[in-house]
Amino acid sequence: MMADTPDPNTIVWFNNQFVPLAQANVNILTHALNYGTGVFEGIRGYFNESQQDLFLVRAHDHYERWKRNAGILRIQIPPSPEELAAITIELCRRNGFRSHVYARPLAYKSSARIGVAPDANDAFSIVVVPFGDYFENKEGLRAGVVSWRRVEDNAIPGRAKICGAYVNSVLATDEARRNGHDEAIFLTESGHVAEGATCNLFMVRAGRLITPPGTDNILEGITRASIIELARNEMKLEVQERSIGRSELYVCDELFFTGTAVEVAPIVEVDHRSVGSGAVGPVSARLRALYNDATRGRMPAYIRWLSPVYRGAAAGKAA
Ligand SMILES: Cc1ncc(COP(=O)(O)O)c(C=O)c1O
């Protein structure tokens, strides 16, 4: 996927005010630009045609994760998750978005000077843009284990969306694409399966849903949590969080990625070997359908995940 360059007139949140994207620029010496000291988020919003409303998905949870993870770099984000969700809703309204959207919050070390030592100058921005599918291939993806290893928690914590850590994902994606795959699969230094370059990984084996644990250097995905909840509640599936060996990828029944951008993305080929039957499997297909229904406001039990933009509701965990 290659997203279009956003319209420079898009209204964004920058330096605590609403400004056009064209004016939201930083100094070339900004600490985060030089040293990667930022923490970002990714939040989707889905436009429901029949309800004529735009629903932000788990905005409160994303903002809570963002604030906590920014703390790893000791970056302060003063507003509460509710206030941050309210800014995001206001951005959608001011831009009049009536399509699916993607919100990109970014908190960063903002001093413009030379020197690695961080100071207390922090800033944050929020940009919302129209957004479609991340992967064009609906028939299933081809994934490949890459030679790069997933960043270790004791080097750069992968559980946070730390800007500098995404060099790891960029290298992996570049290698995977050049090798003819749609998406990379990372192993940890100890050889266990971690996740994709921009998404978590699930495996179906003998009727169980299995995904690597938080201690295998994964980003603790909010979509991953949603899928675990949907699998347990709606499909009565047993879900295990445990380490996965590389060769299990070759003998399992189904594999799929999850993430805000990728949504639920079934994998039909891994390292040039068919996954299961080589077609999208029944568990992946069912979970993809459940996830789509829940995030578009079509499942009453999961409306609690959604913040409506145009219904005038308060932000965050609005019903
Ligand atoms: C490395 C990585 N893993 C997993 C995910 C999935 O996380 P979430 O479901 O919270 O979007 C992402 C990003 O979205 C990611 O960048």
Tell me the pLDDT of the chain (319 aa) as tens digits.
557 899 999 999 999 999 999 999 999 999 999 999 999 999 999 999 999 999 999 999 999 999 999 999 999 999 999 999 999 999 999 999 999 999 999 999 999 999 999 999 999 999 999 998 777 777 899 999 999 999 999 999 999 999 999 999 999 999 999 999 999 999 999 999 999 999 999 999 999 999 999 999 999 999 999 999 999 999 999 999 999 999 999 999 999 999 999 999 999 999 999 999 999 999 999 999 999 999 999 999 999 999 999 985 444 444 3
- Catalytic residue of the set 67, 138, 161, 317: 161
Structure confidence at residue 314 (pLDDT):
43
Structure confidence at residue 8 (pLDDT):
97
Q: How many A from CA of 115 to the centre of ligand 1?
A: 30
Structure confidence at residue 315 (pLDDT):
43
Q: What is the pTM assigned to this prediction?
A: 0.95
Find out whether the beta carbon of 195 lies less than 6 Å from any atom of ligand 1: yes
- Number of C-beta neighbours around residue 26 at 10 A: 16
Q: From CA 279, how far away is CA 267, in angstroms rounded?
A: 8
Strand blocks (E) in 188-243 = 193-196, 200-205, 208-211, 239-241
Residue with CA nearest ligand 1 atom 15: 198
Residue with CA nearest ligand 1 atom 8: 221
Q: Tell which residue, 153, 131, 146, 162, has the closest CA to residue 65.
A: 162
- Ligand 1, residue 197: give the atom nearest the CA: 1
Concerning whether 161 is annotated as a catalytic residue, the answer is yes
Residue with CA nearest ligand 1 atom 7: 221
Structure confidence at residue 312 (pLDDT):
59
Structure confidence at residue 2 (pLDDT):
59
- Number of C-beta neighbours around residue 267 at 10 A: 28
